Amino acid sequence: MRRLSARTVPVAAALAAMLTVAPAVARAAPQAADVTTLHFAVTVGPGEQQCDIVGDLYRPAGATADAPVPAILATNGFGGSKDDLTTAAEYFSGRGYAVLAYSGLGFGGSGCRIGMDSRAQDGRAGSQLIGFLGGRDGIAFADAAHTRPAAAPDYVARDAVDHRGTARDHDPRVGMIGGSYGGQIQFAVAAVDARLDTITPSITWNDLSYSLVPNTLDQGAGVGGPVPGVSKLTWTAALAAAGFLTPVQYRSYREDPSRLAGCPNFMPEVCQGLAEGVTTGTVDQHVIDTFRATSVSSYLPDVTVPTLLLQGEQDTLFDLREATATYRALQAQGTEVKLVWQRFGHSSGGTVPGENPGAGEAWDPQTQYMVQRRTDWLDHYLKDAPTPTGPEFAYFRPWIEYTGNAAPAYAESPTVDVGAPRTLALSGDGKLVPADAGAVTEGAQSLYTLPGGLPTEVSAPAVAPAMDVPAAELPGSAAAWTTAPAQAPVDIVGGPTLRLTMATERTLDGSVADSAVVFAKLYDVAPDGTAELIDGLVSPVRVLDPSEPVTVDMRTLVHRIDTGHRLRLVVAGGDVNYRGGITAHRVTIPQSSAGQGLSLPVLSSVAPNVFTE
């Protein structure tokens, strides 16, 4: 999902390729591909709806029936179109791939409503495009009215059997690329069509109900917990606006007025979820079930193709926990999968030098680290090339200085569990202290939440964090604990866990309307007292019964607390990007309770007493 703020960049910039940069190899300048714009007649949904999809087919130089080439299928991020994929398509066609870049349903001149990457709509549509790449005629046309048939390509390499070993008609050697909305579609297509050979989804979701209505309380193995979440208003509203307005640019509402009826350009549950989020701060089970049905978490056993997952460390829309949950599940079922935590995400404010190409920038595997990672993966699985596919897990370290290619900033690991837990206790004097240091004092802090779920702070919205808005919290709206200055750098890699005991002035009735909602945040405090919310990440927590301690699985991060800096934990009563609890509460957090504290995943090189005065 993209094109929503000055800090989001084209899908092409979200795509990636190799972890360890291979030695530079001299290559001849690629020849330009022949590009043909086509319209595809596809049938989707349980109602067998007819839709038009517009796409650009790139035929690389030298591709013929006697010299066939593998293919790549790609679609846009949310609010975008096939044109966003031009530089990626030019790059891969220059490397000998046929590329079909298309506008997804509901976007960029393609017909029908936005399906939120559902298998029944977007997955089926992508499957039919795979058939076209495999030589199926009768689907492509030179015009939107579907009156002038266009022949399927005869220059795409074919497979004798599909990914599961079954002989299939029109089976091309094909992989997919794309980021955000163009990432989730890859799971949907892979789940319904075993002819797809490999996927490389980036900065996308595991469970859309968690993405848009998260609760970081007791998540368990995945990201969706049993307690209703907290509506992420700014992102939800921005996505809804992008979906509503996209057809205006292409006159799609005029050509198909039915897309304006009900929930314009969306399935009804999207408008229902938006309305419920604004009024109640959460959504009902029907909306949650709909969001989860469009998420890979609900059909992971059907995804069996080799998968390269790329997720952004700076991403307040789809956080690192989402890709990590997908990775763990695929790995557990035996699917070939590798994971990269790149720096670039929906909240990164642009591309990272030497990591991903910028908007409209040509792709270069020699100078752009992630381009090489993606290229080597596809060459390995689509060309049977002896290129490496990289380590099991890699993550970008923003504290590492480098010039040119970002490779030196990446660390490699055979496991995603890099950080070892280090627990800090919440002391009654407002300090975060090592749990085994014996320096915890008795005490308590209280905070207030506002009625109607109103925010208790002023800050830049998540969809435009580059806005120069000084952050400020209302007095009495937050509790905070701060470490001593770090005696050496503290490298945090993973998801912190917060164990809290909370109490409200009166007994809650157990309903969502009467629940207590708070927001856990981690700040890096500089020696001059300036506090920065680490990567803009906020962990919303909805508690129905505060009589028992709660475990908060905070947002995953990769961050260094430098020497002389402090780490601050804040539990706030509201956040500008969320609709909090509807009922106002006074929440008290007692300190020195047994088992209460913040567990940080830190690298083993960090000394035990690093936060001791």
Token pair belonging to 412: 């490699």
CA distance 278 to 465: 21
Confidence band of 593 (pLDDT split at 50, 70, 90):
low
Same domain, 264 and 241: yes
Amino acid of residue 355: E
Please tell me the predicted confidence (pLDDT) of residue 349.
Answer: 82
Same domain, 286 and 141: yes
Q: Which residues fall within 8 angstroms of residue 335, CB to CB, at 6 or more apart?
A: 303, 304, 305, 306, 307
561-580: pLDDT as tens digits: 999 999 999 999 999 999 99
Is the pLDDT at 227 greater than 60? The verdict is yes
- How is residue 123 annotated by DSSP? I
Average confidence (pLDDT) over 424-430: 91
Please tell me the predicted confidence (pLDDT) of residue 11.
Answer: 34
Same domain, 349 and 429: no
Please tell me the predicted confidence (pLDDT) of residue 32.
Answer: 81
Please tell me the predicted confidence (pLDDT) of residue 3.
Answer: 32
Same domain, 376 and 458: no
296-351: pLDDT as tens digits: 999 999 999 999 999 999 999 999 999 999 999 999 999 999 999 999 999 988 88
Same domain, 408 and 425: no
Of 413, 447, 469, which residue is a domain's last? 413
Please tell me the predicted confidence (pLDDT) of residue 606.
Answer: 78
Please tell me the predicted confidence (pLDDT) of residue 608.
Answer: 74
Q: Which residues fall within 8 angstroms of residue 191, CB to CB, at 6 or more apart?
A: 119, 123, 296, 299, 302, 303
CA distance 554 to 382: 38
Of 373, 396, 413, which residue is a domain's last? 413
CATH of the domain at 369: 3.40.50.1820
CA distance 117 to 187: 9
Token pair belonging to 310: 């790329």
The separation between CA 193 and the C-alpha centre of its own chain, rounded to angstroms, equals: 23
CATH of the domain at 521: 2.60.120.260
- 444 found inside a domain: yes
Token pair belonging to 100: 């079909």
- 607 found inside a domain: no
Token pair 């506090």: residue:
531
Token pair belonging to 215: 């609760």
Q: What is the mean pLDDT of the chain?
A: 90
49-103: pLDDT as tens digits: 999 999 999 999 999 999 999 999 999 999 999 999 999 999 999 999 999 999 9
Same domain, 315 and 457: no
- 185 found inside a domain: yes
pTM score above 0.95: no
How much of the chain, in percent, has pLDDT values that exceed 70? 92
| Domain interval for residue 315 | 11-25+35-413
Same domain, 333 and 206: yes
- 226 found inside a domain: yes
Confidence band of 9 (pLDDT split at 50, 70, 90):
very low
237-257: pLDDT as tens digits: 999 999 999 999 899 999 999
Is the pLDDT at 195 greater than 60? The verdict is yes
Confidence band of 359 (pLDDT split at 50, 70, 90):
confident
487-500: pLDDT as tens digits: 999 999 999 999 99
Is the pLDDT at 399 greater than 90? The verdict is yes
Please tell me the predicted confidence (pLDDT) of residue 16.
Answer: 33
Is the pLDDT at 6 greater than 60? The verdict is no
Q: 208: left (phi > 0), else alpha (psi -120 to 50), else beta?
A: alpha
Q: Which residues fall within 8 angstroms of residue 492, CB to CB, at 6 or more apart?
A: 419, 557, 558, 559, 560, 561, 600, 601, 602
- 200 found inside a domain: yes
- 354 found inside a domain: yes
Same domain, 480 and 365: no
Q: Which residues fall within 8 angstroms of residue 126, CB to CB, at 6 or more apart?
A: 73, 75, 176, 185, 188, 189, 193
Same domain, 176 and 312: yes
Of 413, 443, 467, which residue is a domain's last? 413
Nearest to 534 by CA among 465, 590, 478: 465
Confidence band of 448 (pLDDT split at 50, 70, 90):
very high
- 206 found inside a domain: yes
- 1 found inside a domain: no
Q: Which residues fall within 8 angstroms of residue 241, CB to CB, at 6 or more apart?
A: none
Same domain, 407 and 428: no
Q: Say how many domains are in the chain.
A: 2
